[in-house]
Amino acid sequence: MLAALVALTAFGFFTIPSGKVLPIRWGFDLGVTEWAGRDFALLQMPLAAALIWAVCWLFLRFGNAARVVRNERTVAGVLPVVTALFTGVQLAIVLAGMR
């Protein structure tokens, strides 16, 4: 999933013109509620994923040793789901930019 997120981001940078404005937020009715420039729109999901991965790594590395085993299982289950969610949002952003 992480590789797909990086590949989508690179694809977006190569195919979407730099001046294009892309959607970055949708409401419950799936209408776009916020827009941003191409660079910010394409970088927000990979940066958010990197931040969450880094925080999880820090918790596992420097957290309470008695809880590490339980936390490792939780992180192993949550990180792929969160990364898949970010990849899906990135796909929506890139597809909107290609229209």
Kindly state whether residue 19 falls inside one of the protein's structural domains: no
Structure-block tokens of residue 2? 């992480």
- For 1-99, strand residue ranges (E) read 21-26, 32-37
Q: What is the mean pLDDT of the chain?
A: 91
Kindly state whether residue 15 falls inside one of the protein's structural domains: no
Question: How does pLDDT run across 37-62, given as a tens digit for each residue?
Answer: 999 999 999 999 999 999 988 888 88
Kindly state whether residue 66 falls inside one of the protein's structural domains: yes
Question: How does pLDDT run across 77-95, given as a tens digit for each residue?
Answer: 899 999 999 999 999 999 9
Q: What is the pTM of this model?
A: 0.87
Kindly state whether residue 54 falls inside one of the protein's structural domains: yes
Cα 23 from Cα 26, distance rounded (Å): 8
Identify which has the larger pLDDT, 44 or 67: 44
Question: Which range of residues forms the domain containing residue 79?
Answer: 41-99
